[in-house]
Structure 1
Amino acid sequence: MSGARAKPKGIYMLHSQGTHGWEFANWDRLQPDGEGIGLHFRESPWPDSMLDLPRGPWRIPDYAETPKLIFDSKRKVQDIYAVEYFLFTSDKMKSLLEEFAPKSCEYLLCETEFSNGKPGPKIWLCSVVDSYRKAVDVENSPLIRVTQWGGYMISGGADWCFLPAVLKDAQLFRLVEYAVAIFCDQSFKDICKDRGIKGTSFQQVGFLPK
């Protein structure tokens, strides 16, 4: 129909399904303070304040040891696992990410083994580092409240209104004000389904006007 308005694109939070079927063999040895895979805020590589760019949200730290994962030999291996603020991905998922969002992530190859002693699957620690600030129209997103520190407090729902002028062509990204989450667009969701990626879960949180 001539003059009809274009339908806005859906924006989703990316999750993994269920619990991961593996455990760390060296969690307490990865970093000097024994805090596992997470970022050291006191040694943060972010050159500016917590809400300023340029910065590298959730850059993979320089671990003392390579993360080693022990997989349950009785459980099927998924293509994606979300742990804290990182993803652990199969070779198949990494290939998709490198093809579809080549500048959005950084990777570290893990050591793996099955619980029965056999060699484990090829798994990559992945961090989404492509980030945007002020990419949400807060005034038109009634379920978002801005805290005194400038971050977002969310009360639920799928009413976020994202700003296309800020996100442009981003398809897999983080928000500086809500860096705990990984966001993607409808195209990324669709390609994961088309490629048969196992273990992904998508929660629609809002839309990106055309």
Structure 2
Amino acid sequence: MPRALLLAASTLRARCSRDTVMGDERSVSIAKRPRARKRRYYAMGPDYSVGSRPGYWLEDKSILPPYEVFRLPASTGRAPFVFDKSVGSLPYDLEPYYRWWLISDRTKAVLERLDPEAFVFVPCDVRVPHGSYRGPHYWLCDVVRVLDALDESQSCLTIRIENDARSLDFGKKVYMAMPGSKLVFTEAEIGKAHIFRMAHSEADVICDQDLKDACKSAGLKRIRFRDASKL
């Protein structure tokens, strides 16, 4: 075979060999590509293990909706609070107040940035017994998004029909997530939401890893996160 043909054949073999190797590398790369990270969820709420007697209260409770109205309406007027540290501890970043949360300005900033459509915020007018209040602004906050996203077949919890005629849930399905429960959620039902209340157990607020991380990065205090997969 002429020398030129030999050189051409050698070059072609080298190129094919290189292409094969590159193809193999691509195959290996695709095979080793990690799967999408599964979202983690947490039961979120006030940390009841810290704090003492509260030194804050709402002066005019008439602004709150009647007991039958579980959600806090956006039309609620400004909430007049008294903060008195001689009575008890002043609020931190997230405190329980009736069915809702009393939150600081910086908590509101985190929640609004992550998932603004999930909340209703009612501004608080704060006064102190002596002098003028010079602390951060506070808000009553309600998580108003409710999702029926629990995968009952994969979860471990008590599911029953409420049989107490005095209950607002009489005749309805009720979830009871106790210590030792396992909650698994359907991603398709959650979509891009970062926080929601559970249908059939609206007292339970669930958030994802992104919201938990944002709260911790902001240094927010007195918020508890419990892994929903092992309560």
- TM-score when scaled to structure 1? 0.75
1:1-210 equivalent positions in 2, closer than 5 A: 2=32, 6-17=36-47, 18-19=50-51, 21-27=54-60, 29-31=61-63, 37=64, 39-41=66-68, 44=69, 58-60=71-73, 66-73=78-85, 75=89, 77-119=91-133, 121=135, 122-133=137-148, 135-148=149-162, 149-206=172-229
Residues paired across the two proteins, number: 185
Question: Is residue 143–residue 156 contact of structure 1 (8 Å, CA) maintained in 2?
Answer: no
The secondary structure found in structure 1 opposite 2:228 is: strand
User: In structure 2, how many angstroms separate the alpha carbons of the residues matched to 1:39 and 1:101?
Assistant: 27
The secondary structure found in structure 2 opposite 1:140 is: coil
Coordinate RMSD, CA, aligned: 2.7
The Cα of 1:200 is off from its aligned counterpart by: 1.2
User: In structure 2, how many angstroms separate the alpha carbons of the residues matched to 1:156 and 1:39?
Assistant: 31
Consecutive unaligned residues of structure 2, counting only runs of 5 or more, are 1-30, 163-171
Question: Quick one: which amino acid aligns to residue 194 of structure 1?
Answer: S
**Is the radius of gyration larger for structure 1 or structure 2?**
2
User: In structure 2, how many angstroms separate the alpha carbons of the residues matched to 1:111 and 1:24?
Assistant: 11
Question: Quick one: which amino acid aligns to residue 99 of structure 2?
Answer: Y
User: In structure 2, how many angstroms separate the alpha carbons of the residues matched to 1:183 and 1:120?
Assistant: 33
User: In structure 2, how many angstroms separate the alpha carbons of the residues matched to 1:157 and 1:8?
Assistant: 21
Question: Is residue 156–residue 181 contact of structure 2 (8 Å, CA) maintained in 1?
Answer: no
The secondary structure found in structure 2 opposite 1:107 is: strand
More strand by percentage: 1
- TM-score when scaled to structure 2? 0.69
More helix by percentage: 2
User: In structure 2, how many angstroms separate the alpha carbons of the residues matched to 1:168 and 1:73?
Assistant: 43
Question: Is residue 172–residue 184 contact of structure 1 (8 Å, CA) maintained in 2?
Answer: yes
| CA deviation profile, 1:15-47 (whole Å, cap 9, x unmatched) | 2223474332425x425xxxxx46531xx4xxx
